[in-house]
Amino acid sequence: MVRIPEENGPRVRARELGLPLGRFKPGKYNAITDVEGVLVGHTTIIEGSGPLRPGFGPVRTGVTAILPNLGNIFMERMSGGGFVLNGAGEVSGMTQLMEWGLIETPILLTNTMAVGAVSDGVANYLVQRYPGIGDEHDVIIPVVGECDDSWLNDISGRHVRQEHVVAAIDAAKSGPVQEGNVGGGTGMVTCDFKAGIGTSSRKLPEVLGGYTLGVLVMSNFGKMHNLRVGGLPVGEVLVEKFKNTPHRGKSYGSIIAVVATDAPLLSHQINRLCKRVGLGIGRVGSYAAHGSGEIVVGFSTANIIPRRTQKMVYKMKILLDQRLDPLYEAVMEATEEAILNAMCMAEPMTGVNDNYSPALPLDEVRRFVDACRPIFASVKKRPHQTSVPASKERPSDEDREGEVTLGSALPTQVRGAEGIPFPTRPAPNEPPLDGPP
């Protein structure tokens, strides 16, 4: 095996490489925690080296916990949804999530063989905190996503324990999020380079609602030749350099993504938002291979659905479907950047049987980006710019999305789901709006 000498410089996030990563600005931390109330914690398990001894190691795995609503998600639930692009993977609890449209447990990420242990750990954690579960309250099905880290980890040894789950939940906090070889992403690989946990966020301009959206991924998919970095075919360039470095061969891998937003969305809208995560994954080079699992879970923090109430109804804020387009674009951008952050921040790793996963060579990426920088500079465009020429007279049916605030948008200023201005004509047997009574 030939190992490429590693770079000596520090690992940095994708944005620091000067990549073209979309037109919307990130939030303060450029992380899912930019959505108020969202917390993230990790437990990382790295033990042993050398030949694989099932049950003994080497161990390269962990647990990542995403807590909506400052961790009080059991009593104060939120609207949720999801999407399965390719189903060669698992997120336990997703059947109920899609049926009810509710998130009511923390969301945990780990390796494939640890899903049961992690689910059990979450259940124990919640039962201890809320003793009425299964009696006073309904039972729970924790939301736990997985990817296969067996290239680097003794996955069949099932080294994740309940204490690791509790530690990840207890460590969850707001602010910057650790990325790369941490938590559930410890043993994960993307496009034959070391990856793991990555996150990114977008803050929409006020004219588009001012909402914040964040994505966190556990990235473990793809082959080197497919890798695109900022739209550039970096993987095709690096294949020759790494041609003598052994790669994971039997598995294409998977990716689990978690989307959070403070936009007031219903479950069906969250489902639609989660679909667009697949477009962001595709930007990095995935084609959702037969053996891959691209599964997305999403939630909105804008509305609380209480577990206890004396009322028979509750009120919700709901964003117009016609106002979703900026969120679709933002989630695609944030997903792409989250995956690249996982790769850019990950250090090289040696795991079971001395299997080796190199880090993405950032100097090579910088050189590629610098060579293309004149092209990037010529196409930069501000988010609120429009391609419509300035004119005092606008067609009455023109789609003015992005040019009016949500508060001032009248029904006639937006289009219906079918793209037809509403209203178009008076209802049958009714006089025209401008006609005689």
Please list, in sequence order, all residues whose beta carbon lies within 8 angstroms of the beta carbon of residue 10, skipping any fewer than 6 positions away: none
- C-alpha 107 chain-centroid distance: 12
Exactly one of 294, 336, 337, 401 is catalytic; name it: 294
Count of beta carbons in the 10 Å neighbourhood of residue 347 = 13
Tokens found for residue 302: 């804008």
Q: Which of 254, 267, 286, 300 is catalytic?
A: 254
Contact by Cβ (8 Å): 62, 185: yes
CA distance 235 to 223: 8
Per the annotation, the verdict on 357 as an active-site residue is: no
Q: Would residue 254 show up in a list of annotated catalytic residues for this protein? A: yes
Question: How long a stretch of residues is the chain?
Answer: 437
Q: What is the dihedral of CA 326, 330, 333, 339, to 10 degrees?
A: -150
How distant, in Å, are the alpha carbons of 30, 99, 325, 327 from that of 95? 30, 6, 27, 25
Cα–Cα–Cα angle for 25, 361, 330, rounded to 5 degrees: 20
* Selected catalytic residue, list 79, 92, 292, 300: 292
294 in active site: yes
Helix H or strand E encompassing 372: helix 362-377
Which residues belong to the active site?
Answer: 254, 292, 294
